[in-house]
Structure formats: C-alpha cells, structure tokens
C-alpha cells in the first residue's frame, strides 16, 4: 500500500511544522527571540490547526497498519526509493542546474533501483563454495581459507555498519562480492609468495606486488581514452609479474571483478565515497593494492601514457582473433535449435 | 402521532374538569354558591377521578414521548448511515467530477482510492491530500517499476533455471543485477520515444539501438580495436539520446552492461547459457541486439579501423580531472587516520 508511505511523510512534515511553531513560541515567551504580533498569531494559528490534523493522520496510520505492516518489504523499498531519489536529484541539479521534464522522473527512479534494499540471503557456507569452486582451477586454497573469508566478511560488515543516512548503506550485491574479491586477492598473493618461496631460499612473507593505480582511470573510463590505456597497461604490468599461466588467468578474473566493483561504486559518486574507501582500505591492508595519492605523480604519469600510446600498435588484434566468437557461434546454433 | 394528540386532549379535558370542580367547591365554601350534598360529593369524586386520570395520562404521555424520541433518533441514524454509505459508494464518481482539480490530480486521487483497503473510509479531502503527497514522492512510478522488475526477474530466472553446477554457481550473484540493467534500458528507450512524440520531433527518426558485437567484449582489455568499437558504439547511442538526463542514464547503463557482459565472457563456456538468457531478455524488453552476420561484422571492423586512424587518443572528457573528488576525499581520510594514530601514541 503506497499510501502508507505518503501518510508517513505527511505526518513527518506536520511534526516538523509543529516543532518549529512550538520552538518559536517558546523562544518568544522566554524573551530569547521576540516575535511580531503577526508572527506570534501565525505561530499560534499554525499550532491550532496542525495539532488536530496530526492526531487525525496518526490515527489513520494506525488504521492502515492494521491491514499492512509499514515495514514490509515493499514499503522498505518505496521508502528507500524516496530517500535515494532526493539525493539523486540533488546531484543532478548540482551538475546541470536544469529543470527536468516530467517524464524524466521515471528514468530517475529507474536509475536508483539498484540501491534499494534487496533480499539476498546467502549463508557463509554457500558463499564460500560459490567463491572457491571456479577459482580452484587457477589458485590453490589452503585449509584455513574458509576462516579467512569469514574474517574478511566480518570485518567488512563491521566497517559498513557505522554509515550515516546520506551514505549508501549497502549495494546489496556488492556486500557479497567485495569480501569474496578481497579473499581471492589474498589467496592470489599467497600463491605467488608460495611459488617464490619454493623457487628461492630467501623466504618472504609479504610482497609488494601491485603497482599503484590512479583513481581517475576508473572515473573517466569510457570517456577519456588515456584512462583505458592506463588501465590496460596496469593490467598487463601485473600480468607480466605473474609467475605462471594459471596465476595470469586468475589475475584476469580478479581484474575484471575489481573493475566491476570499482565502477559500480564510483557511479554512486560522493554518496558512496565512504563505501569505496572501506573497499580500498581493505585491499590495501590485505594485499597492498592501493591508489597513487601523490598529485604530482598522477599528473606526470599522464605524459608517460602519451608516449606509451604512441608506441602501441592500435590496430593489432588477438592472435586467435575472429569476429565470430565462440559464443556467437553457440548463440546462432542455439537459435537454430529453437 | 395520533395517540399522543388524543391523550393530550383527554389530559386537557381532565385538567379543566378538575379546575371547574375545584372552583365550584371554593365558591361553595365562601357561600357564593350553595351546592347540595349530593352535588358536592359528586364534585369531590370528580376531582378524585380526574386527578387519577391526569396522573395516568401524564405518565402515559411521558412514556410515549420518550419512545417517540428514540424512534426519531433511530430514524436519523438510519438516514445518516444511508448518507454515509452513499458518500463512499459514489466516492469515485464524485472525485472524477471534482471541479477545482485537474486531470492528473484526479487520476492520482483515484489511484489512492484503489490503493487503500475498502474497509478504511477516507474523506475526499484526505484522499486528495494523500494522493498529492504520493504524487510528489513519485510513489506510483516507484511501485510500477518494482512490479516491472519483478516480472522481468521472474522471467529471467525461469530461463536460467536448472543450468547451474559447481563451477558456475557464482553467477547466481548476478541474478540481481541483470534484471535491473534490462529494466533501466527499457525505461530509457521508452523515454526517448516519449520525448520525440511529445516535442513533435518528427524529423528526428529513432529506429532503435545499433547492434553490438561480441568480439568487442571478448577482446576488450586485449585489443585496442575492441575498445574503440565499443567506444564508438556508445557514442552513437549517446547521440540518439535527447535530454542530458537520458545521456547520463545511458552512461551508467552502458557501464553496468559492459561490466556484466565482460564478467560473463571471462567465465567462458560455463556461462554461455547465462549470457544467452541475458541477451535474449535484453532483446525482448529493450530491443538491444547483437550482430551475428559475419560479413556485417567485417564491414564494421573496417569502419572502426578507419575511425581509429582519425581518432585523437590524447583528447580527454570535458570534465577531465586527474585529481578526482574521490581522490581528494581519500587524501583527507588518510590524513585524518594519520593524526588519529599519532594521538593514540
């Protein structure tokens, strides 16, 4: 019942109005802030009309709640849609300062739908199995892997608990994906350390494996070509540092998942800064994957990238390149079968 | 009521009889009138009798009048119930005819009327107030979208059902993402068409979205040509958007779409069924199709090659800034953490 949400908002609005009038009158009576005769009368009048109205709305709410709980799944989604849209609008206005057409409301509403509460319920065991089965082909998991994932998940959940209202509390899907990805990163780096330790006699425990990435690459991916080339070069640099084919393959998956999560969070801009920071901090803590924060270095690297692009063969393709990919062939044969 | 009138007449009669009899007795006492013994006795008897009658009549009248009042109340109540029932029975008709409200306000009120359970009776005024709030909060839009999402999701889930195994189980996490992307693109297309119709941009022909090519996704992050193909394809669609709001929406949809497509591509053959279901659904609901004809694919490859040669790869977006707002936020956070750590020490 959508009306519950409307009524709820009407009650809140009235409460605010009444509180303002009461505050004004209280300050007036204490002499703290003198109201003009007219203003005083208007505050009085406001109290007189709004108080019974508030009672009326409240009792109506009680009636409605007999039919449907106000914290049902539908209501939670609606309430959150209203809240999120306020911020979406605010961001758009800040960016463009233009009036929206009325039917753009629908687009706006559609664009925040991924921020609404979802009921994804996975237990730890399920999550663990999901996260290891596919990666088993490329990475070696140890006996304490499961504890590792649990610990990471718990740490992540504790960190996102303290968010204030303006923040995106959860991008439900990401709440599951992030701990898995961090866990994969941990196993990946452990595998490389293990490999190195097997080959040489100087045992290492920690490894600075990743070069620093730059935030603007993600921010402008698909807008400025340099960001694509930078990310690609960064990805290739890491791939080159891998010690065997399997690790390279694992890195490809990690890279794609990492970009996936970074882009999704980044799209939510300042609403999700805290969220993104937690994600970044955990990767920094566990595998020393971090972004460059020195503005000078960031600016200079852009020039280096230009030289890199000039040296690249832009028309080269994969050795096994074919415009008809294996998947398209599958698709075509599937259609024929239907 | 007749019976009351009759009783009142009788009462009046008895009262006047008593009055007359009392007067006669008084005059007899004062000597003004001499009554015979018999007459006197009969006069006394008359008083006695009529006094008795008066009391009786009065009592009866009192009772009768009380009942009558109850009856009246009852009648009034019934009338009120009928009035009330009619008020709610004809509420929707009445709302439709409300004079000082426009079409949209009336439609919104009718939708609220439908939304609230029948047992809850709201006055017209309350309905208009709630529907106005619902309208400003776009509750109808949100709840319609949710319904659409549920529909798309259940269709998608039914397509992929039964194809999961140990290796691809993890794809299930995307079950939540894909229906949203399909819905968003669907709404965007609808919006573009509505805008064209509304602003009478007849000369602006919108024939749908250009086809995408799977090898662009397959070779993204390996061949620059694949990136260029996708980049140009995205630019073409952006040019089809009319408002900046639509452009903004497509940027987001595109990113989400490519992220999921690439993820599925990396999973390779284990995700074919899943990728296929995604493609089929986005084709059905949002008219987005892939190019599968080899000669067309080759023609397009030639076009992208030519475009690559012309492209300025050093150009950056209008809003380009290497120091992003998030980077600034991060630097501040790091500083905060450092001072916190110092304080602890």
Cβ-based contacts of B198 with chain A (< 8 Å): 101, 103
To the nearest whole Å, the CA of B58 is away from the closest chain A CA by 47
pLDDT-derived band at B1 (thresholds 50, 70, 90) equals low
Instruction: Kindly state the greatest CA–CA separation across chain B.
Output: 148
Cβ-based contacts of B173 with chain A (< 8 Å): 130, 173, 176-177
- Which of A218, A258, A210 has its CA nearest to residue A234? A210
| Partner residue facing A327 (CB), from B119, B184, B214 | B214
Kindly list the distances between the CA atom of residue B44 and the CA atoms of A125, B12, B23, B34, B51, in Å, as whole numbers in the listed order: 110, 19, 11, 15, 11
- pLDDT number for residue B316: 83
| Partner residue facing B308 (CB), from A63, A263, A315 | A315
| Partner residue facing B225 (CB), from A101, A103, A317 | A317
Say if residue A90's pLDDT is above 70: no
| Entry pTM | 0.81
Sign of CA dihedral A162, A167, A170, A176: negative
- pLDDT number for residue A87: 66
Q: What value does the CA radius of gyration of chain B take, rounded to a whole number of Å?
A: 45
Can you tell me the mean pLDDT for A202-225?
Answer: 90
Say if residue A151's pLDDT is above 90: yes
- Bridge partners, A213 (sequence order): A291
B294, A324: Cβ pair inside 8 Å?
yes
A314, B252: Cβ pair inside 8 Å?
no
pLDDT digits (tens, 9 = 90+) for A45-77: 999 999 999 999 999 999 998 888 878 888 888
Within an 8 Å CB–CB cutoff, is residue B14 touching chain A? Answer: no
B276, A114: Cβ pair inside 8 Å?
no
Can you tell me the mean pLDDT for B1-9?
Answer: 81
For B55-103, give the secondary structure using H, E and C.
HHHHHHHHHHHHHHHHHHHHHHHHHHHHHHHHHHHCHHHHHHCCCCCCH
- pLDDT number for residue A165: 64
Cβ-based contacts of A322 with chain B (< 8 Å): 215
Residues 77-106 of B with CB under 8 A from A: none
Cβ-based contacts of B167 with chain A (< 8 Å): 133-134
- pLDDT number for residue A131: 77
For A61-94, give the secondary structure using H, E and C.
HHHHHHHCCCCCHHHHHHHHHHHHHHHHHHHHHH
Say if residue A189's pLDDT is above 60: yes
| Partner residue facing A106 (CB), from B187, B254, B276 | B187
Cβ-based contacts of B180 with chain A (< 8 Å): 113-114
pLDDT-derived band at B229 (thresholds 50, 70, 90) equals very high
pLDDT-derived band at A89 (thresholds 50, 70, 90) equals low
Say if residue B22's pLDDT is above 50: yes
- Which stretch of A63-72, A166-175, B88-97, B271-280 has the lowest confidence by average pLDDT? A166-175
To the nearest whole Å, the CA of B97 is away from the closest chain A CA by 22
- pLDDT number for residue B274: 94
Say if residue B264's pLDDT is above 70: yes
- pLDDT number for residue A98: 47
Residues 6+ apart with CB under 8 A from B108: B131, B132, B134, B135, B140
Say if residue A171's pLDDT is above 90: no
- pLDDT number for residue B291: 94
A134, B170: Cβ pair inside 8 Å?
yes
Tell which wins on pLDDT, B2 or A208. Answer: A208
Say if residue A92's pLDDT is above 90: no
pLDDT-derived band at A111 (thresholds 50, 70, 90) equals confident
| Partner residue facing B317 (CB), from A224, A256, A316 | A224
- To the nearest whole number, what is the mean pLDDT of chain B? 89
Say if residue A97's pLDDT is above 50: no
Q: Percent of chain B at pLDDT above 70?
A: 99
The neighbour count for residue A217, using CB atoms within 10 Å, is: 26
pLDDT digits (tens, 9 = 90+) for B174-222: 888 899 999 999 999 999 988 888 777 666 778 889 999 999 999 999 9
Pairs of residues, one from chain A and one from chain B, whose beta carbons lie less than 8 Å apart = 290
Cβ-based contacts of A108 with chain B (< 8 Å): 245
């Amino acid at each position: 019942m959508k009306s519950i949400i409307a009524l709820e908002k009407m009650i809140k609005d009235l409460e605010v109005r009444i509180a303002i009038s009461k505050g004004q009158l209280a300050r007036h009576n204490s002499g703290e802030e003198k109201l003009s005769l007219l203003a005083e009368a208007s505050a009085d009048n406001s109290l007189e009309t709004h108080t019974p109205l508030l009672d009326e709305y409240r009792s109506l709410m009680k009636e409605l709640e007999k039919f449907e709980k106000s914290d049902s799944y539908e209501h939670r989604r609606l309430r959150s849609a209203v809240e999120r849209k306020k911020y979406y609008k605010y961001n758009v206005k800040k960016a463009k300062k233009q009036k929206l057409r009325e039917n753009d409301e629908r687009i706006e509403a559609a664009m925040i739908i991924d921020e609404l509460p979802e009921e994804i319920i996975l237990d730890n065991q399920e999550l663990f199995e999901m996260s290891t089965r596919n990666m088993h082909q490329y990475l070696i998991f140890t006996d304490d892997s499961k504890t590792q994932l649990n610990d990471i998940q718990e740490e992540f959940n504790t960190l996102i608990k303290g968010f204030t209202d303006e923040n995106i509390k959860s991008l439900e899907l990401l709440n599951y994906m992030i701990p898995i990805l961090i866990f994969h990163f941990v196993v990946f780096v452990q595998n490389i350390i293990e490999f190195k330790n097997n080959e040489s006699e100087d045992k290492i425990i920690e490894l600075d494996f990743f070069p620093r990435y730059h935030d603007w690459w993600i921010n402008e991916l698909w807008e400025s070509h340099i960001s694509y080339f930078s990310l690609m070069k960064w990805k290739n640099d890491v791939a080159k540092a891998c010690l065997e084919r399997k690790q390279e393959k694992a890195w490809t998956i990690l890279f794609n998942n990492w970009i996936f999560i970074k882009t999704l969070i980044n799209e939510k801009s300042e609403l999700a800064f805290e969220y993104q920071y937690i994600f970044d901090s955990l990767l920094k803590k566990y595998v020393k994957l971090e972004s460059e924060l020195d503005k000078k270095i960031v600016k200079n690297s852009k020039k280096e990238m230009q030289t890199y692009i000039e040296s690249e063969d832009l028309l080269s393709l994969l050795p096994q390149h074919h415009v008809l990919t294996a998947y398209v062939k599958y698709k075509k044969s599937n259609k024929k079968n239907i | 009521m007749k019976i009351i009138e009759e009783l009142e007449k009788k009462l009046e009669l008895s009262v006047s009889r008593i009055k007359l009899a009392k007067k006669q007795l008084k005059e007899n006492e004062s000597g003004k009138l001499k009554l015979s013994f018999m007459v006197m006795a009969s006069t006394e008897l008359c008083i006695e009798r009529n006094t008795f009658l008066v009391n009786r009549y009065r009592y009866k009248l009192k009772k009768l009048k009380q009942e009558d009042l109850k009856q009246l109340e009852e009648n009034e109540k019934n009338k009120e119930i009928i009035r009330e029932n009619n008020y709610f029975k004809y509420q929707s008709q009445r709302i439709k005819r409300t004079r000082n409200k426009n079409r949209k306000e009336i439609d919104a009120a009718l939708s609220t009327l439908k939304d609230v359970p029948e047992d809850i009776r709201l006055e017209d005024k309350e309905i208009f107030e709630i529907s106005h709030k619902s309208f400003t909060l776009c509750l109808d839009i949100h709840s319609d979208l949710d319904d659409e999402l549920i529909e798309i999701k259940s269709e998608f889930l039914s397509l992929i059902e039964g194809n999961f195994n140990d290796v691809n189980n993890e794809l299930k996490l995307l079950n939540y993402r894909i229906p949203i992307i399909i819905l968003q693109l669907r709404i965007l297309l609808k919006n573009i068409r509505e805008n064209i119709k509304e602003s009478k941009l007849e000369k602006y022909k919108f024939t749908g979205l250009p086809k995408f090519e799977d090898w662009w996704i397959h070779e993204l992050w390996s061949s620059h040509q694949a990136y260029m193909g996708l980049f140009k394809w995205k630019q073409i669609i952006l040019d089809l958007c009319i408002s900046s709001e639509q452009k903004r929406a497509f940027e987001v949809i595109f990113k989400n779409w490519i992220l999921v497509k690439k993820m599925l591509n990396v999973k390779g053959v284990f995700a074919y069924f899943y990728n296929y279901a995604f493609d089929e659904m986005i084709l059905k609901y949002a008219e987005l199709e892939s190019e599968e004809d080899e000669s067309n694919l080759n023609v397009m490859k030639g076009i992208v090659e030519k475009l690559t040669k012309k492209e300025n790869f050093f150009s950056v977006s209008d809003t380009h800034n290497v120091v992003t707002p998030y980077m600034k936020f991060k630097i501040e956070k790091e500083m905060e953490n450092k001072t916190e750590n110092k304080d602890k020490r």
